[in-house]
Structure 1
């Protein structure tokens, strides 16, 4: 449906394609043509004088002359040189902008199309490196390469989103307890310097539970032999404290 806001030449071309079987019947073409016009354009059609149109060609010429201000203006070829991938822009968004611009340029410039698309990619982009190492010879091959790297990009984005959700869920859960690991220098931990790792489980805070004096922190001592210290620098004076979240324990 033509509303008077798009290119009238394109509208006539599409109409001719749909009516190709009846192209020789000019009377029928003229009668069917207004069925694809919107209310505003129909006012123009209804205003045509009786006997002012003698053929379908004259009708389309009058139509084009009236709505010529809506004709699409072809972009110059050097418009492609101004296109480049923006910071944090996805390959899909950049390629969509690029092909939209290409479609607004009249003519067939495959070599320029391939070269300017490649130049518009960042130097470190994998697709640009691929196009340099293995150049494509036509636009179809370029589009296939773009689709390939778009799929890789989408897979990476889905993976990043999944990891972010997993990290968010893990950080929002309260820790089940605390694992303290301290390895001190010999002679600073009494008679058993290797028995210096313990696991403390956090007591549940329940107002209805036993009195505070009755609640005690549960500790399970883990021992380390001298073999566990192989490869470490001994002796040392500073204690090493490591805190990790492992299986819900902090």
Structure 2
């Protein structure tokens, strides 16, 4: 269901994937498109002048122009580089904040993410010491190490 707060680019992409089998039938795609719109958006859709849209591409373009403010704007890598673990912050809270920002950055920056996460921890933090002693080579390894240390932190 699309409402006026959802990322419209992601919505159109997901809709197109679900309709891949019917992708040649653009008229059907336009009709089905309206079936998953929330109240605000359906009012916009219902207000379209008859015959004003000739293709699914035109429909998604008009949709994009109307609801552009809901588009996700990728964050620059600098936002990730500026994150540090705050004094008194738990590893769980910090890692949640870190991964939320990491997910907002477009591009393949796994190596940078591994390095910056490590460097953003206080020098005396046990996880940082472990990562220096045994460096990880992928994001999944880093997440595994973080999970282990979150459990240790929770038990203390």
- Alignment deviations for residues 113-143 of structure 1 (CA, whole Å, 9 cap, x no partner): 1111111111111110011111111111111
Corresponding residue number in structure 2 for 1:58: 58
Q: What is the TM-score normalised by the length of structure 1?
A: 0.60
Q: Which one has the largest radius of gyration?
A: 1
Query: How far apart are 1:55 and its partner, in Å?
Result: 1.4
Q: Which has the higher helix share?
A: 2
Which 4+ residue blocks in structure 1 deviate beyond 2 angstroms? 17-25
Secondary structure of 1:60 counterpart: helix
Which secondary structure does the structure 2 equivalent of 1:141 belong to?
helix
Greater strand proportion? 1
Q: CA deviation at 1:25?
A: 2.3
Distance in 2, matches of 1:131 and 1:35, equals: 50
Query: How far apart are residue 97 of structure 1 and its match?
Result: 0.4
- 1:42 is matched with 42
| Per-residue deviation, 1:34 | 1.0
Higher relative contact order (CA 8 A, sep 6+): 2
Distance 1:76 1:37 in 2: 31
Within 5 Å, give how 1:107-146 maps onto structure 2: 107-146=107-146
Residue 81 (structure 1) shift: 1.8
Counterpart CA distance in 1 for 2:21 and 2:124 is 53
State how far apart, in whole Å, the 1-side matches of 2:34 and 2:75 are: 30
Root mean square deviation, CA, Å? 1.3
Aligned partners of 2:16 and 2:152: how far apart in 1? 42
1:92 matched to 2:92: yes
Gaps of 5+ in 2: none
Deviation at 1:17, TM superposition (A): 2.4
Cα-to-partner distance string for 1:191-231 (whole Å, 9 max, x where unaligned): xxxxxxxxxxxxxxxxxxxxxxxxxxxxxxxxxxxxxxxxx
Q: Deviations over 1:131-163 (max 9, x none)?
A: 11111111111111111111222222xxxxxxx
The TM-score normalised by the length of structure 2 is 0.94
Query: 1 CA distance for matches of 2:53 and 2:78?
Result: 41
Count of paired positions: 156
1:153 correspondence with 2:147: no
